[in-house]
Structure 1
Amino acid sequence: MTNQTQWETEIKAELEFLENIFQRRSIVTTKELNSSWLIRNGQKLLNLASNNYLGLLNDSRLKKAASKAIDKYGVGSGASRLMTGNHPLYDKVESRLIQWKRAEAALVLNSGYTANVGIISALMKRDDIVFSDKLNHASIIDGIVLSRAKLQRYRHRDTNHLEALLMKAPKDKRKLIVTDTVFSMDGDIADLEGIVRLKEKYNAMLMVDEAHASGVYGKGGQGYSHHVNLQDKVDIQVGTFSKALGSFGAYVVAKKWLIDYIINRMRGLIYSTALPPAVLATIEKAIEIVEEEREKRTLLLQHAEYFRNRLTRFGFDTCESESQIVPIIIGANSQTQSFATRLQEEGIAAIAVRPPTVPENKARIRFAITSAHQKKELDWALEKIIQVGKELEVI
């Protein structure tokens, strides 16, 4: 047997530790049948784990847009946007994005993670201060760490705590408040009105992540900021095309001078190969569909309310969810993993979410509802979830 190096021994021991506390993850190949069903490990499962909120992932119009772009332009972009990769389709998509979001300027980026990490680390520097909701997405936290700014975490959705932190901050320091609008693991929504009030009172910048709200909220699906008519009070709106819009990539909208600054300072833009033409073509088509087909949003939120209310009625803790993301809190990692395994055995794909994604002893099953689900499918799933909940003594 070959002697292991110290680093091999340490890493394997860490993997074993993760296994023992039910936090070791693995990648499982999944074949999507349609917007509601998939196949995993040879088993057909109702998909309650996807962020494909409007069922656009397999939409024939997006496929046609991608195919036409490939035929006309090829499959790659060849370079970063600042080299030779800024395809003319970027201009079309960003113009469409400005129109959709009613913004002054827009920038398409490679992913939501890239956007949050890159924008925060471009805007903030050592000795600046970032005020971040305790349950913000990991990409926001990583962006703050990379920026080397001082992190001030306020209690989840607690504007009183946020104000207490702002009051203590030196007036001469650059201050950024950043929050998700719809929180990805709890399904609840930020108090954007309260945050805007504090942003103005304490002369801070405000950045919101609309990843799980884009396509879902707002008259034209522009996001939660538009839903509450505060888009002009938000300095930086970030969102993704990879969830409700069924494509890939991310966006940021802001004042033109701020977008110009991001172009010049964001390393994730400067040093990343641009998106392929096919992706840009699907983004443009997806925005058009989302803006026009409002009934998809209405149906999605009706489905989510129905599903959430039924779970709550049977005694599940749905974590104050208000959106299409409906978690049920289980608690212990082992019991949560058992719950997810039992659901799969019953024909449901739903993910066990464990620390560090969520706090300790707050492991959960995260259900994601879509407009593509049929009510009879949701009823069938609810019956199975309630059955497993009783079996494992969760309810």
Structure 2
Amino acid sequence: MRDADRGDVDGGATHHLRSAPRLYVLDALRLIAALMVVLFHYVALYGGWENNPRAVFPSLHAYARYGWLGVEVFFLISGFVICMSTWGRSLGDFVVSRVSRIYPAYWVAVLLTALVVTVWPQVRQVDGWDQVFTNLTMLQQGLGVSDVDGVYWTLFIELKFYALFAVVVATGVTYRKCVMFCGIWTAAAVIAPTADNTLLDMWAMPLYSPYFVAGIAFYLMHRFRPTALLWGIVLVSLLLAHHHLGERIGDNLAGAKQPIAHWPAHLIVTLAFAVLALIALGALDRVQWRWLATAGALTYPLYLVHMYIGLTMIHWLRGLLPAPYLVLLVVGVMLVAAWLLHRCVERPLGSWLRGALRRGIDDMRRYSVPRAGSGGAGGDGGPTGGRTEPVAAAGATGPVPAAAAPAGSAEPASTTTADRAPLVPAERSPVGERV
């Protein structure tokens, strides 16, 4: 049943929904954000270049050095897409979709990057295979272990967002709960910098929460309609984002020997919010270029493999080609590698992992139902030692439903109903910049 044909009841009020065409423009925005980050690493950092990149790229460098803001764009998109993809889904569905989406390509990228920088350690070195194996969990930052690739730091930010929003998903996603979530998280993020509480600061993520919160509010506008309340959430988030930009500029451009203009960063963030506003209002629904779906699917694997592998290529080839052509060549190679990761890893391994996890979730639901005559005990009691025929839980009469995927894709068919997470950029670069 299409959104336009039904209502969503929340707190006694029925909200009529607009029909929702596929949002190809989100794929376009994701691609732009990924290329911003790639150019920042290849053009604005020393990385594989022997000389100051400003001397190598006298014109392009002035623009590429703000490419780290692709991270903020990714987080903005993530708030929109995660809220969209969890509507009407259970916590188990959410966990399955996220794990099967983000881990397969990540596992291969970690091992591939570790192999490259071990054989050619000129740009980056790993601290040992213990570090590599810990990185496979994607939890290394919580354990105090450094990332194998500088881009992985944002994945831990994403995981924390998933964990926070899982509280909403577990109780059923509604308009009211999403608004409450935005308000509580914003309040925590405002308090965190002065609260002197490491745990609060870790989970409130004041530098990045405004983007996730705004993304959620934009999706509520898109699904229902814009209201003064939602515009207020977006405006507060935008102002908080601008407030923290100075710190982000310092993190990423601290090595610059000349004063850095802040206004381009503020302009880029404002434009990103403006584009999401247009998407939320349906002004860009006419963008129906199907090739964008494929381009958008490549952004996550591109993000995962481009940094240290690409910089290593630049290091070895910098004397053979003019710098601009070398950058184009490396970007092209990384796009091919991303396509191979998507086709040969994400799609088959993601599909297998999704099915395996769904069967596990289904068994957990079935065996968690109390047996008849067991006195309220679960399936782990009784004279037979707990082995009992599977009993279907209410609402779980079969395997967890799978989202429909288009031919040639490991993801749901429509970006309007998909569970796609933008992928995000980077930790500390070889020269200390954080993106």
TM-score normalised by the chain length of structure 1? 0.26
**Which structure: greater strand fraction?**
1
**Which structure: greater helix fraction?**
2
Greater Cα radius of gyration, structure 1 or 2: 2
